[in-house]
């Protein structure tokens, strides 16, 4: 059976749908040497011995310092591989239907009201779905009249999109059938599948989340990484996209890594929700999705 998830389409923005087997119509970065200590005057033979001891001591000291500095430098280089470029904790409330409003307008944009999701069953309606309350960005997913409503939020970052990055989000959702989400990196070029796509977390709200690395190839191939985690508890998920490597981390543990045809062109972050292509949300059903905070880092 096809696995339910959120994919992107080459003819539009990424939207929620069902993942199936790819095919023709597949949518989807010299420590200074210490000076030698002066020798102590004395008889020549003893002086030579002391010099020898001092030489050995200096050599050992230099080796120890060099080793220590090397470790520190290596750790420093690793730490400097990333720099924070965006963080939001959603401390300022925004009433339902008014996000991003003046408070968050310089930091976020949204898909406009009326856009269809990929399943064709739902519509994006940020004017009815989005709000900020109790320190969280909230989606109130709903099906008031037979047309389920969701929303997609795009952190603009300083450059909107970027090449490589680390993206972390703290989130939870109600496990209500028929609704789903995918927080993903989508190519600025809109050339999909050629320029790839990276998704995590992704899945139906009443199921288990997974990560998906879409390869940068016209073939539309990808690799999925399953988890045993549901959406109804708080989790912290990270996409780490670096040269030749994509790493997915959930609550501090690595879910999976991909080194195959890693994307190399600029991508932007999309926090996207929508309907499940295989199941219609029940009439009048609602589901709340919450994001406590999110952070984006750039490759130095």
Which pLDDT score, from 0 to 100, does residue 63 have?
52
- Say whether pLDDT at 264 is over 50: yes
Which pLDDT score, from 0 to 100, does residue 47 have?
37
Which pLDDT score, from 0 to 100, does residue 220 have?
96
Please state, in angstroms and rounded to a whole number, the distance separating the CA atoms of residues 287 and 143: 10
Percent with pLDDT over 70 in the chain:
73
**Between residues 285 and 69, the one the model is more confident about:** 285
Scanning the structure block, which residue is given the tokens 């990484």?
A: 225
**Between residues 248 and 54, the one the model is more confident about:** 248
Percent with pLDDT over 90 in the chain:
69
- Say whether pLDDT at 200 is over 70: yes
Please state, in angstroms and rounded to a whole number, the distance separating the CA atoms of residues 267 and 162: 6
The count of C-alpha atoms lying within 13 angstroms of the C-alpha of 104, restricted to the half-sphere facing its C-beta, is 26
Residue length of the chain: 300
Helix (H) or strand (E) holding 58: helix 44-79
Please state, in angstroms and rounded to a whole number, the distance separating the CA atoms of residues 169 and 249: 11
- Say whether pLDDT at 45 is over 60: no
Task: Give bridge partners of residue 81 from the DSSP assignment.
Answer: none
Please state, in angstroms and rounded to a whole number, the distance separating the CA atoms of residues 30 and 16: 53
Give residue limits of the domains in the chain.
Answer: 38-80, 84-299
Which pLDDT score, from 0 to 100, does residue 170 have?
98
Both structure tokens of 97: 């239907």
- Say whether pLDDT at 149 is over 60: yes
Alpha carbon 97 to chain centroid, angstroms: 26
Residue-averaged pLDDT of the chain:
81
- Say whether pLDDT at 121 is over 80: yes
Which pLDDT score, from 0 to 100, does residue 72 have?
34
**Cβ neighbours of residue 192 under 8 Å, at least 6 residues apart?**
8, 9, 10, 14, 28, 186, 214
DSSP assignments along 169-181, one per residue: EEEEE---TTEEE
Both structure tokens of 153: 């939020």
- Say whether pLDDT at 253 is over 80: yes
Q: Which phi and psi angles does 36 have, rounded to 5°?
A: -70, 140
**Between residues 182 and 42, the one the model is more confident about:** 182
Mean pLDDT of 180-190: 97
Which pLDDT score, from 0 to 100, does residue 60 have?
53
Please state, in angstroms and rounded to a whole number, the distance separating the CA atoms of residues 116 and 149: 9
Q: What would the pLDDT profile of 10-42 be if each residue is shown by its tens digit?
A: 334 444 443 333 333 323 333 333 333 333 333
R_g (Cα) of the chain, nearest Å: 26
Please state, in angstroms and rounded to a whole number, the distance separating the CA atoms of residues 244 and 255: 17
Q: What would the pLDDT profile of 54-75 be if each residue is shown by its tens digit?
A: 454 445 554 554 444 333 333 3
**Between residues 33 and 186, the one the model is more confident about:** 186
Mean pLDDT of 272-300: 95
Alpha carbon 266 to chain centroid, angstroms: 14
Count CB-CB contacts under 10 A for residue 103: 16
| Residue 173 near residue 289 (C-beta atoms within 8 A) | yes
What is the C-alpha end-to-end distance of the chain, expressed in Å? 42
The reported pTM is: 0.76
**Cβ neighbours of residue 35 under 8 Å, at least 6 residues apart?**
none
Fold of 84-299: Jelly Rolls (2.60.120)
Which pLDDT score, from 0 to 100, does residue 35 have?
36
Mean pLDDT of 242-261: 98
| Residue 269 near residue 167 (C-beta atoms within 8 A) | yes
Which pLDDT score, from 0 to 100, does residue 40 have?
39
Which pLDDT score, from 0 to 100, does residue 145 have?
96
Mean pLDDT of 211-225: 97
> Cα–Cα distances in Å, from 244 out to 1, 194, 236, 247?
31, 16, 24, 10
């Amino acid at each position: 059976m096809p696995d339910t998830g959120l994919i992107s389409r080459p003819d539009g923005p990424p939207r929620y749908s069902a993942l199936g087997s790819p095919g023709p119509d597949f949518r989807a970065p010299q420590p200074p040497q210490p000076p030698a200590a002066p020798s102590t005057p004395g008889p020549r033979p003893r002086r030579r011995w002391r010099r020898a001891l001092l030489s050995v001591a200096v050599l050992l000291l230099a080796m120890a310092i060099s080793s220590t500095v090397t470790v520190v430098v290596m750790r420093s280089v690793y730490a400097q591989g990333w720099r924070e470029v965006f963080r939001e904790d959603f401390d300022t409330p925004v009433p339902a239907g008014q996000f991003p409003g003046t408070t968050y307008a310089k930091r976020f944009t949204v898909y406009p009201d009326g856009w269809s999701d990929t399943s064709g069953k739902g519509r994006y309606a940020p004017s009815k779905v989005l709000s900020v309350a109790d320190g969280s960005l909230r989606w109130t997913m709903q099906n008031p009249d037979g047309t389920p409503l969701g929303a997609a939020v795009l952190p603009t970052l300083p450059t909107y999109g970027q090449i490589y990055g680390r993206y972390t989000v703290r989130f939870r959702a109600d496990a209500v059938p028929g609704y789903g989400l995918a927080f993903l990196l989508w190519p600025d070029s809109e050339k999909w599948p050629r320029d790839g796509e990276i998704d995590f977390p992704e899945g139906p709200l009443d199921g288990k989340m997974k990560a998906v690395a879409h390869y940068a190839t016209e073939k539309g191939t990808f690799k999925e990484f399953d988890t045993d985690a549901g959406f109804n508890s708080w989790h912290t998920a990270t996409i780490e996209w670096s040269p030749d490597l994509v790493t997915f981390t959930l609550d501090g543990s690595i879910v999976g890594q991909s080194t195959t045809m890693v994307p190399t062109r600029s991508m932007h972050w999309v926090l996207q929700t929508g309907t499940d292509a295989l199941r219609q949300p029940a009439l009048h059903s609602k589901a709340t999705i919450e994001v406590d905070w999110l952070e984006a880092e750039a490759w130095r």
